[in-house]
Chains A and B, each alone.
Chain A
């Protein structure tokens, strides 16, 4: 079975500094996708970044980058130049393939990030 582990329940970072949120995964499927989502207190899940298992380059989207280490089965999210608005819960997720009917997301337990002014 696929599994996502986020070992940091909570993290603090100073405004304008960079922060790394850890994520490790376990799967026997050679083809998989990894996602990071941000969930503010309002509850909406906001897609941040995607990494495919066959992608050669680490994914980047603006201030977000994904440090993908396939051999270690880790997919850490790096947020550069933290802003107060980055304070939220962050979920790492893996897509579990459901054949030709789509795929479901398996989520980690989340990391609560607090940005200090």
Chain B
């Protein structure tokens, strides 16, 4: 089945220790998104890629970066995690094109704990 996969499902890191979260997709979608969802809140977009074009949200901290080496994979790098970065990180994909709804399909998420 075509799907969005995130690894790891749970990640524990120490304050200030860099961490990388990964996302892969078999849907062949041209857009990939990273959302941050803190406890009891709605998801919030950090950035997204349309093909190789990177689009950063204006209020995304510099501490967060992303890479998309190919269509299937996208990575979220947190350079120096703080306690406030503990959250669920959701990857989503969509197909942007004429006459399509551009529905976003999400992976299972990575729950990040910062000690």
Q: Identify the A interface with B (CB < 8 A).
A: 33, 35, 37, 42-47, 50, 52, 91, 95, 98, 100-105, 107-110
Contact = CB atoms under 8 A, between A and B. Distances in A.
A44 B102 CA distance: 19
Contacts of A44: 106-109
Contacts of A52: 101
Contacts of A108: 42
Given A33-B102, A50-B103, 18 more contacts: A33-B101, A44-B109, A45-B43, A45-B90, A45-B92, A45-B106, A47-B106, A91-B42, A101-B53, A102-B48, A102-B102, A103-B94, A104-B33, A105-B35, A105-B92, A105-B104, A107-B42, A107-B43
A45 B90 CA distance: 8
Contact of A101 (B44, B50, B108): B50
B50 A50 contact: no
Q: Which 7 A-B pairs have the closest CB atoms?
A: A107-B42, A45-B106, A43-B109, A44-B108, A102-B31, A104-B45, A101-B50
Interface of B: 31, 33, 35, 41-45, 48, 50, 53, 55, 57, 88, 90, 92, 94, 96, 101-109, 111
Contacts of A37: 106
Nearest to B92: A45
Contacts of A100: 50
20 contacts: A35-B104, A37-B106, A43-B111, A45-B43, A45-B90, A45-B92, A46-B106, A50-B101, A101-B50, A102-B31, A102-B50, A102-B94, A103-B96, A104-B33, A104-B48, A105-B43, A107-B43, A107-B44, A109-B41, A110-B42
Contacts of A45: 43, 90, 92, 106, 109
